[in-house]
Amino acid sequence: MGEPWSNIAALLRQQKLLAPQSLRERLLQLERPASVIAAAQSLNFSGGMLTSDMLDAMMAQAHEGPMKATPPSSPTPSQRIPPTGTSAVQAPTDLGRTVAPLQAEQPLDVMFRNNLPDWNPDDFSMHASDAASDIVVHYDITGNSTTEGKMADITACFNDRLQSIRKLIVQNSNLPRKHQEISRLLAESSRYQGYENKAVAIGLVNEPRYTKNGHLIWGLEDETGEMTCLLTKRSGDDRDRAHEQILEAGLMPDDVMGVSGTFSQTGDIFYVDDLHFPLESKHQKVSAEQGVSVAFLSDIHVGSKTFLEAQWHKMVRWFHSDPLAKTIKYLILSGDCVDGVGIYPGQDKELAIPDLFAQYTEFARLLELLPEWVECLMLPGNHDAVRPAEPQPTFEKDIQQDYNTTTFVGNPCDFSLHGVRLLSYHGKSIDDFVAGLRTVTYADPVEAMREMLRRRHLAPQWGGKTPLSPEPEDGLVIREVPDIFVTGHVHGHECVDFRGTTLVCSSTWQDQTSYQRMLGFQPKPCMLTVINLKSHKSISIPFA
């Protein structure tokens, strides 16, 4: 054996070449791999996938192995005759160098992280082709939407939200005593004016706001009435970190939360001592029996002039050649796979494909380039051809017909892969969390995901930036804590753990847009997040 593979791979990257698995053994047997790979430049082989014929020619050029370089054929007499109107003196005596035609600029190959010793084969232990498909959908609004948009539907939706999350608060929070209806607490407020006799209520947050002194005040409403709550800033020994975090962040309108405390002497203010949220302190992940992996992408935006097509083909080559890619059984596409038409003013000037259906057809073609062992699960986003109100049903049949190995679901979708529970949500409500909570920013969208889990609701605010459909059963309540929670929308990238749940903010495949440039926002494109369903180990592969 000659050079180690890590050195050979580095030499190939210098020539912008990718080597398939079938050629790896031949490359490892080379006595002088540096000179053979360097011959690619003189043969104009730089860039692309290395083939067996290319390797033969490179070995001949470097005089390694039994093969001899094939001499160039002699030019024919007609090739020696200068064309009409040229001087015979300028006619070459033999063939000159042929200049290659101009091609689209290709992205520079970077050293893939999986070529470094940062992932263990034991953590990604099974080839995807060895496992049967196992997808179980627990919730999808597709075919189950019954709302007519009337006031009765809105009331039913909020009642279901309150009742569902109230049960979770009682189950998972350490309430000091049994909660009571707000109307009863108001009628008996004089009983709850001492520190030793606290009252507990659970309800919806109305109009949270700050006072001049930095206190937080809001209305809390249930089916029976509403009371005014006040969370005060504390100092000295009375300081409480949990209170400070709430005061620092704020509250979202239409949150469901529990409060415990006492009433003022007049009974018109409820002084909050503790707040109670529905998320348990620690979630226990479920591990699959089979060690296949799932990968995550979002916001591909095919059809836009800023879609990064060259990087997509780079990822396709990786899928076909890398050992880690062979473990990926599922690819989750969390919305905005196409750029859409008429989504925002002046969008037509930024479209490379102005026809909506042609955008979906092109994306289907791009998915067909992936290996046959990869199964896609695709849900819509705010750029897609579905209703804008969430929860969103999946795509119409005339869009689905171009796709083969793709499962279409609504947004959000609660499903399991080999027993591991996943919640996939495009993430439009992140806009509301950024606007409503002072600790959430577009630079750190994972904080919005944490807040969604704390509240056990994906989009609590009614009438904000996220249009909502008032279904009789609120489809945005997080009824079961997922093992993996994934969003997109904001074109960031992150993969972290939060109380036992893996949070994935899926990367985009779109370059910085003119609107993002105006805001000074820099996306994090072309990062493929891979998580093994058995070991729950994760890795992010860069393709930019």
- Report the half-sphere exposure of 330 (CA within 13 A, side-chain side): 26
- Which amino acid does the sequence have at 198? K
The pLDDT score that the predictor gives to residue 520 is 81
User: Going by C-beta distance under 8 Å and a sequence separation of 6 or more, which residues neighbour residue 242?
Assistant: 274, 275
Q: What is the Cα–Cα distance from 144 to 141, expressed in whole angstroms? A: 5
List phi, psi (to 5°) of 468.
-120, 145
Q: What separation in angstroms does the CA of 469 have from each of 134, 199, 393, 504?
A: 30, 34, 11, 25
Token output for 417:
């892969």
Closest listed residue to residue 338, CA positions, set 303, 388, 380, 312: 303
Are 275 and 246 a contacting pair, CB within 8 Å?
yes
Q: What is the Cα–Cα distance from 338 to 348, expressed in whole angstroms? A: 14
Token output for 467:
């249009």
The helix/strand/coil state of 7 is: helix
Please give the full DSSP string across 51-119, using - where no structure is assigned. -HHHHHHHHHHTT-SS--PPPPPPPPHHHHSPPTTS-GGGS-SS--PPPPPP-PPPPPP---GGGSS-S
Give the number of other CB atoms < 10 A from CB of residue 299: 26
H helix runs in 139-276, sequence order: 151-172, 182-187, 241-249
Cα angle, residue 432 at apex, residues 138 and 506 outer, rounded to 5°: 55
Low-confidence residues of the chain: pLDDT under 50: 66-102, 105, 107-117
The pLDDT score that the predictor gives to residue 457 is 97
pTM: 0.77
> Omega before 412 cis (within 30°)?
yes
Token output for 76:
């024919």
* Kind and range of the H or E run holding 486: strand 484-487
Label each residue of 174-206 as H, E or C. CCCCCCCCHHHHHHCHHHHCCCCCCEEEEEEEE
Q: Which domains does the chain have, with CATH numbers?
A: 1-65 (1.10.8), 174-276 (2.40.50.140), 290-542 (3.60.21.50)
Tell me the torsion sign for CA atoms 337, 339, 341, 345.
Answer: positive
The pLDDT score that the predictor gives to residue 37 is 85
Are 257 and 277 a contacting pair, CB within 8 Å?
yes
Token output for 143:
């075919």
Distance from the Cα of residue 34 to its chain's centroid: 39
Token output for 138:
């627990």
Q: What is the Cα–Cα distance from 187 to 63, expressed in whole angstroms? A: 97
Q: How many residues make up the chain in this entry?
A: 544
The pLDDT score that the predictor gives to residue 118 is 65
List phi, psi (to 5°) of 526.
60, 45
Q: What is the Cα–Cα distance from 499 to 479, expressed in whole angstroms? A: 16
